[in-house]
Amino acid sequence: MSDFPSPEAEVLSPASVFNAQTLAIASLLLAVLLVTIFFVSARRKSSSKGDALILVGGSDAGKTAILSTLIYEKTLPTHTSMQTNVSVIALPNTHKTLRVIDVPGHPRIRDQFLEYLPDAKAIAFVVDASAISRNGSAVAEHLHQVLHALTSLPPSRTTPALLIVAHKCDLLKSTVHTSSDQLAINRVRTVLERELEKRRESHANGVGVEKMGAEDAESELGGLECSGNGEFKFAEWEGGEVTFIGTFVNSMYERSVSRSRHNNRKQRVDINGGYGDSVLRRVCMGRLKELAHFLFVRLVVS
């Protein structure tokens, strides 16, 4: 038997294997990995496209009537909404559905649309084309808030499409060269561009832009920047493309049929400009099908 002691198995401590430098590198790599996962997750969340259409606009503009007609293909009796309505409609030529959020137009609560903006893929700003010449300033103020909200979105978010609906175009008399819906679009565009230019000039001159229903002024409200050097034009708005469409629903027809049978026929001819009942329904739904087609193209195809 040898006098030399037999070698014993040596247990290496973790510290001898993972020295300080190795641990530092491992910790750094772990930190980088966690930060990368966080930013990728946050980017996906912030840049994801919404799946809803938000209906905004002043009180009595016709938002709820449009919504009910899209859902039920007929106009139901409506009243001024004081709470947000959420419904689901079927898009044409597809099995897909769309969530529609109808935000009240009352000045004190209309900014609730900001709560739903992260879910929006499109915003439809509904304007009463028959009254825009009288209340253009108030409508432009409301639209200004929407434009400001859209231009204030972070670059990582996809900006919702903006549709301006010149509603109640059936109340405008068409001419030989211009249809009632095109007349409504031209009127709404002209008045809003003029009023928004006034607000832009007031801001540039340091004059506070008054906010309806509040005591303070919105001197810092932006969102009216244009690519051109001239007056405000929707075609040159830096916030993105703005689409106009003229619509109406057959609310006049629905009110007329509720009257007495004796006067019904004459009143219907007077109110509807000579349209028969079935023809009027097709015309009204035709106008809203143009809106539905826009929703299909922007919300499904794009």
77 in a domain, yes or no?
Answer: yes
Task: Output the domain CATH number for residue 93.
Answer: 3.40.50.300
Give the count of domains, the chain: 1
The pTM for the full model equals 0.70
Say whether pLDDT at 196 is over 90. yes
pLDDT band at 88 (very low <50, low <70, confident <90, very high): confident
Residue 265 maps to a domain = no
pLDDT tens for each residue of 36-66: 454 444 444 444 467 888 999 998 888 888 8
Q: Cα separation of 166 and 151, whole Å?
A: 22
Report yes or no on 88 lying in a domain.
yes
How far CA 211 is from CA of 156, 232, 254, in Å, comes to: 29, 20, 36
pLDDT at 188: 97
Mean of pLDDT values over 262-279: 38
Average pLDDT on 109-132 reads: 92
Q: How many CB atoms lie within 10 A of CB 114?
A: 14
At 214-259, the pLDDT tens digits run 434 444 678 999 987 889 999 999 999 998 988 887 654 434 333 3
**How far is C-alpha 42 from the geometric centre of its chain's CA atoms?**
23
Residue 53 lies in a domain: yes
Do residues 208 and 219 make contact, with C-beta atoms less than 8 angstroms apart? yes
Is 236 domain-assigned?
yes
* Segment of 60-74, 174-188, 252-266 carrying the highest mean pLDDT: 174-188
The answer for residues whose C-beta is within 8 angstroms of residue 74's C-beta and 6 or more apart is 68, 250, 254
Whether residue 20 is contained in a domain is answered as no
- For position 9, what pLDDT does the model report? 53
**Chain centre distance of CA 25:** 48
pLDDT of residue 199: 93
Query: In the predicted model, is pLDDT for residue 273 greater than 90?
Result: no
* Domain annotation covers residue 23: no
Instruction: Identify the domain containing residue 185 by its residue range.
Output: 49-250+285-301
> Alpha-carbon distance 59 to 269, whole Å?
29
The pLDDT of residue 95: 77
Place of tokens 């004059």: 207
Residue 30 domain flag: no
